[in-house]
Amino acid sequence: MVYHTCAVTLLAAISLALGAEAVFAQTFPAKPVRIVVPFTPGGANDVIARVVAQKLVEPLGQQVLVENRGGAGGAIGAEMVVRSPPDGYTLLLANPGPNAINPLLQPKTAYDPIRDFTMITLMAVSPQVLVIHPSLPVRSVRELIALARSKPGQINYGSSGTGAITHLSMEFFKSRTKTNLVHIPYKGASVALTELIGGQVSAMFAALGSVSPMLGSKRVKAIAVAANERTPLLPDVPSMSESGVPDFEVVNWFGIVGPAGMPRPVTDRLNQAINRVVQSPDSRERFASLGFVPRGTTPEALERHVRSEIARWSGVIKAQSITAE
């Protein structure tokens, strides 16, 4: 009889909890939702967050605010979200730095990129593009590889900083092509691109959106997109696979996550609203102008993507013996 009473009590408690969760989800959101961008204003992460936040007002029926909390390569903003109540009102604009790379380079990172977040959706990706200064005497990836092998340690490349995707993309390239290019890190992608235009560095990987406006001026030359197929956003530039480096696909990606433990009905509500926004015709057009390819996935698909990113960059970091500065 005691066991029966305990079982009934447990079932009642579970039913009550599920009922409360369902009621909460039905009334969500009852106040403004906040998207934390773990970087300073003005970059790609900030832009996409604001584009999506503005359009989320209609499907959610509440204001969606963007709050910039930059620092420590995105870790400060990410930690802030991890410590927030898992009620769906505080979200993180996730990207490769804080949600895949930083925990690999910084063992003391105060969060786990999988365990400590609720995955919601992968909103968009932006292919990385291999660009060179016009003075470099090559016209293709194959010619760059040949030149680099003939002059090991004599060709330099820029990045937005040690551990950034612009850095790890080139280290991935070096590992795959058995070449030796010298890394020159800068404080930000815009600074690195400025140095590339000035000829202080000879090559770099950069986000499509940041370099596409420069290609017509002939200040930089795009020789490959880091993908297995050409992108319609840059149709005249060959893919890395076409260029003799197969299975080399590197994108900057933008997702939405929340603190671990969010109720699934709330996660689904946010997932549906955000996917509706990013897949709308006007958002697709806006994203294309910024160099983003819209996605809109399930939470499970985002988790698979993050796990694959962690596996990829872990391999590159170990193979190239990369350490944090």
Span 259-303, pLDDT tens digits: 999 999 999 999 999 999 999 999 999 998 888 999 999 999 999
Domain assignment of residue 218, yes or no: yes
For residues 64 and 108, membership in a common domain is answered with yes
* Domain termination residue (choose one: 166, 191, 225): 225
Angstrom distance (rounded) from CA 297 to CA 279: 10
Q: Using 50, 70 and 90 to split pLDDT, how confident is the model at 17?
A: very low
Which two three-digit tokens encode residue 42?
Answer: 């003005």
Q: With 0-12 CB in 10 A as exposed, 13-18 as middle and 19+ as buried, what is 240?
A: buried
In a domain, 139, yes or no: yes
CATH number of the domain bearing residue 119: 3.40.190.150
Question: Residue 252: helix, strand or coil by DSSP?
Answer: strand
Q: What is the pLDDT of residues 121-174, one digit of tens each?
A: 999 999 899 999 999 999 999 999 999 999 999 999 999 889 889 999 999 999
**pTM attached to this predicted model:** 0.87
Domain range enclosing 101: 30-126+251-319
Domain edge (last residue) among 189, 208, 225: 225
- Judgement on whether residues 119 and 132 belong to the same structural domain of the protein: no
Q: Are residues 166 and 307 in the same domain?
A: no
Q: Where residue 23 falls among pLDDT bands split at 50, 70, 90?
A: low
The answer to the question of residue 231 being in a domain is no
Residues 116 and 255 in one domain: yes
Domain count, the chain: 2
Q: Give per-residue pLDDT as tens, 77-99.
A: 999 999 999 999 999 999 999 99
> Which of 207, 225, 243 is where one domain is finished?
225
Q: What is the pLDDT of residues 191-213, one digit of tens each?
A: 999 999 999 999 999 988 888 88
Are 274 and 193 found together in one domain? no
Q: Is residue 280 part of a domain?
A: yes
Report the percent of the chain where pLDDT is more than 90: 74
Crossing angle of helices 264-278 and 44-60, in 10° steps, is: 110
